[in-house]
Amino acid sequence: MMLKFTTLCYIEKDNKYLMLYRNKKKNDINALKWIGVGGHFLAGETADECLVREVLEETGLTLLDYELRGKIIFHIDELMEVCYVYTASNFKGELICCDEGTLEWVNKTEILNLSLWEGDFLFLKNLLNGDPYFEMELLYKNDKLISYEVK
């Protein structure tokens, strides 16, 4: 079993979330899906440090503040990924071209109409409803959500 730690951020502006359509990276587990921005921890990094670095690398935006909204444990075949989910609305800078996909501001009312991972629908509802901190576990087999548990 491989263990990874990641961050995922939904940046908000004008009632929209910045979404990343993963259409550029080869051998991408997220290919042709819409996700938030974020990525893997570097050695010695905290979740907050990873978040700020990944958002800057992928978007060109510097987060001025952010809020930890939840923790998700993904079980995907032989991978266990612990993902810290954030939202942010205070940032500076201009969007850059992302080498992993196309960045687009998507109206919150349209988010659940996008091509998302099945489990993303579950936690995005929490974010969109303004629910408090949440924890959940999602079990995938062959890219299909098999089960989930809200803690």
In the prediction, which pLDDT does 142 show? 83
Neighbours of 15 (CB within 10 A): 9
Report all structural domains of the chain as residue ranges with CATH numbers, in order of start. 2-150 (3.90.79.10)
Write the pLDDT tens digit of every residue in 101-120: 999 999 999 999 999 999 99
Per DSSP, helices labelled H in the chain are: 47-59, 118-128
What confidence score (pLDDT) does residue 127 get?
95
When computed from its CA atoms, the radius of gyration of the chain, rounded to whole angstroms, is 14
pLDDT at residue 52 greater than cutoff 90: yes
Residue range 39-54: average pLDDT? 97
Q: What are the tokens at 143?
A: 């890219």
Give the model's pLDDT for residue 30: 82
Helix runs in 34-129, H state only: 47-59, 118-128
Question: What average pLDDT does the structure give for the chain?
Answer: 95
Show Cβ contacts of residue 54 under 8 Å, excluding neighbours closer than 6 positions.
Answer: 7, 9, 37, 38, 39
**Model confidence at 39, in pLDDT bands (50, 70, 90)?**
very high
